[in-house]
Chain A
Amino acid sequence: MELIAQFFEELYHRTGWNFSVLYNAWEAKKYVNGIYIALELALWGLLGAMIIGALCCFLRLVRFAPLRWLVTAYIEFFRNTPGLAQLYFLFFGLGSYFQLSTYGQNGEPPFLSPFKFVVIGLSLQYGAFVAEILRAGIEAVPKTTKEAAEALGYGRWAALYHIVMPLAFRISLPALGNNMAQIVKSTAMAYAIAVPEALYVAHEIWTEHFNVIEMMNVVLLTYLGMMWIFTLIVRLIERWLHVPGMGR
């Protein structure tokens, strides 16, 4: 660590390339914290998206049409509008209208922190995608497999639970992994409502040192690294769930 810091400080003095975050201990600490917050946002968002997606997928199977329409409307809305606009809608729109994001008259902290708004925004946006992916997975389970379950006496929900869902989940996994990886990148929109994640911290640093180019490189490489780790985890899950000879 010491050596790296020395190298980049030396680099700055000789060439003017200022990677301040790599030798200034205080900035480094702030930036690492920013990465930590980004990962936290991604993990909570992922969890929320999975829950919302599974719930929507389930609600769409219920034989009550208005409920299905409602869920479909939600999915279409959140899939086809920009994530940042959604976040603004939640934070500045709903948030201030219902006084969820504003400070109280006597300075009470807001009901929901910006961090929580981002988690909610990510969950809603990606939950819509998860719902679609899971539905495609269910539709990809061969009709004949469902028939075999029926012929063995399984009812609709029992077949869904024991046979269709486990298969659909495996079929969906690559698309699901892809979608989840997108969440890591989307955490950067938290910048817009001042959540101190990696991009926000980087912005703070470059306004102080005017080292935009250096910091942008650091930021992009950071996201690349996070994505790489994330993809690795998804691949491990895929291998763990792999069924020999099931390569449809």
Chain B
Amino acid sequence: MKAENATPQVILKDVRKSYGQLEVLKGISMSVNRSEIVSIIGPSGSGKSTILRCINALAPVNAGSINVAGIEVNDPKLDERALRRRVGMVFQSYNLFPHRTVLQNIMMAPLQVLKQNRADVEQRARALLAKVRLSEKENAYPGELSGGQQQRVAIARSLCMNPEVMMFDEVTAALDPETVKEVLTTIRDVAAEGMTCILVTHEMRFAREISDTVYFTDQGRIVESNNPKDFFENPQDDRTKAFLDKVL
């Protein structure tokens, strides 16, 4: 369901990105509205993850422009902290900080980066932990959790910064099939609260169920985008058809 009050929150215009000689993104344009759920699918190496990394300035772009909630990402005087508190990112490999407990992992950045009040942060962290259904694990260390649990903590950690946009980079790709479900449930909860979400995923059924818009990328370009029903049932481009034939 596309949100009616469509205000673009993330806008990419003709974004190009190269690693050395290799051009990974060859002119990506897309626009994501507030509360919209967007999935990016496509074969490995098509530039899906790079799009996310460009949006939060982990990877600087070579050309084009990116605007996130009013912030020009490729402004040379970019305030990275201001950008990253608005854009949360969850990684395939969870990347929790192994020397800190679950609760500390969630509280660290709000305390150390945003210098927020400890009592407030703690209350928020506990609430988020309850939301990802891991309250009983608050004093465990990441190494003591399963992959799915770690990923849910990583989502809570990102949410504790109160972002406006959440990006999920193949967050279930490293998980075993039983735990995929619990992570997808958590993402579904996040999306249901009106968070703007950009997902890079290989979970086609999930993408179809949750997304407002599906983008298909191949060789650094967006080949096709559409609402999930038409995208999956009636793909237009031959490359999309070939890809869907292989994965569905």
Measured CB to CB, the residues of A under 8 A from B are 142, 144-145, 147-155, 158, 162-163, 166-167, 170, 243-248
Which residues of chain A are near B80, meaning CB under 8 Å?
Answer: 150, 153, 155
Q: Are A151 and B58 in contact (CB under 8 A)?
A: yes
A245 and B113 in contact, given A145-B95, A151-B58 (Cβ under 8 angstroms): no
Specify which of A142, A163, A243 is in contact with B143 (CB 8 Å cutoff): A243
* 6 closest residue pairs by CB, A with B: A245-B143, A148-B95, A152-B109, A153-B84, A153-B113, A245-B144
A153 and B141 in contact, given A144-B93, A148-B91, A243-B99 (Cβ under 8 angstroms): no
Interface residues of B in 120-149 (CB under 8 A from A): 140-145
Q: Which residue of B lies closest to A170 (CB)?
A: B99
CA distance A244 to B88 in the complex (A): 27
**Chain B 68-104, CB within 8 Å of chain A: the 1/0 string?**
0000000000001100110011010101111100000
B24 near A: Cβ within 8 Å? no
Q: Which residue of A lies closest to B169 (CB)?
A: A151
Closest approach, in angstroms, between the C-beta of B211 and any C-beta of chain A?
23
B161 near A: Cβ within 8 Å? yes
Q: Are A154 and B98 in contact (CB under 8 A)?
A: no
Closest approach, in angstroms, between the C-beta of B125 and any C-beta of chain A?
13
Q: Are A150 and B58 in contact (CB under 8 A)?
A: yes
Would you mind naming 7 contact pairs between A and B with Cβ atoms under 8 Å apart? A142-B93, A142-B95, A151-B58, A153-B85, A162-B112, A244-B140, A244-B143
Q: Are A153 and B58 in contact (CB under 8 A)?
A: no
Name A's interface SS: helix
Which residues of chain B are near A248, meaning CB under 8 Å?
Answer: 98
A153 and B81 in contact, given A167-B98, A167-B99 (Cβ under 8 angstroms): yes
Q: Are A246 and B98 in contact (CB under 8 A)?
A: yes
Q: Are A151 and B99 in contact (CB under 8 A)?
A: no
Which residues of chain B are near A170, meaning CB under 8 Å?
Answer: 99
CA distance A212 to B147 in the complex (A): 63
Specify which of B98, B99, B114 is in contact with A153 (CB 8 Å cutoff): B114
B152 near A: Cβ within 8 Å? no
Q: Which residue of B lies closest to A244 (CB)?
A: B141
Specify which of A145, A147, A247 is in contact with B97 (CB 8 Å cutoff): A145
Q: Are A244 and B144 in contact (CB under 8 A)?
A: yes
Q: Are A246 and B112 in contact (CB under 8 A)?
A: no
Q: Are A144 and B143 in contact (CB under 8 A)?
A: no
Q: Are B84 and A243 in contact (CB under 8 A)?
A: no
CA distance A145 to B58 in the complex (A): 13
Specify which of B89, B109, B143, B154 is in contact with A246 (CB 8 Å cutoff): B143
Q: Are A153 and B93 in contact (CB under 8 A)?
A: no
CA distance A162 to B97 in the complex (A): 10
Closest approach, in angstroms, between the C-beta of A167 and any C-beta of chain B?
6
CA distance A152 to B90 in the complex (A): 10
Q: Which residue of B lies closest to A169 (CB)?
A: B99
B157 near A: Cβ within 8 Å? yes
CA distance A26 to B98 in the complex (A): 54
Extra pairs beyond A152-B158, A244-B140, A244-B144 (7, CB < 8 Å): A142-B95, A148-B97, A151-B89, A153-B85, A153-B113, A153-B161, A154-B109
Which residues of chain B are near A147, meaning CB under 8 Å?
Answer: 58, 91, 95
B108 near A: Cβ within 8 Å? yes
CA distance A112 to B108 in the complex (A): 47
Q: Are B113 and A158 in contact (CB under 8 A)?
A: yes
Specify which of A152, A155, A158, A244 is in contact with B157 (CB 8 Å cutoff): A152
Closest approach, in angstroms, between the C-beta of A145 and any C-beta of chain B?
5
B35 near A: Cβ within 8 Å? no
Q: Which residue of A lies closest to B95 (CB)?
A: A148
Which residues of chain A are near B88, meaning CB under 8 Å?
Answer: 151
Specify which of B58, B98, B108, B114 is in contact with A245 (CB 8 Å cutoff): B98
CA distance A128 to B141 in the complex (A): 34
Closest approach, in angstroms, between the C-beta of A111 and any C-beta of chain B?
44
A166 and B99 in contact, given A144-B91, A155-B81, A158-B112 (Cβ under 8 angstroms): yes
Which residues of chain B are near A246, meaning CB under 8 Å?
Answer: 98-99, 141-143
Q: Which residue of A lies closest to B145 (CB)?
A: A245
Q: Which residue of B lies closest to A145 (CB)?
A: B95
Closest approach, in angstroms, between the C-beta of A220 and any C-beta of chain B?
40
B56 near A: Cβ within 8 Å? yes
CA distance A167 to B96 in the complex (A): 12
CA distance A246 to B154 in the complex (A): 17
Q: Are A152 and B99 in contact (CB under 8 A)?
A: no
Q: Which residue of A lies closest to B114 (CB)?
A: A153
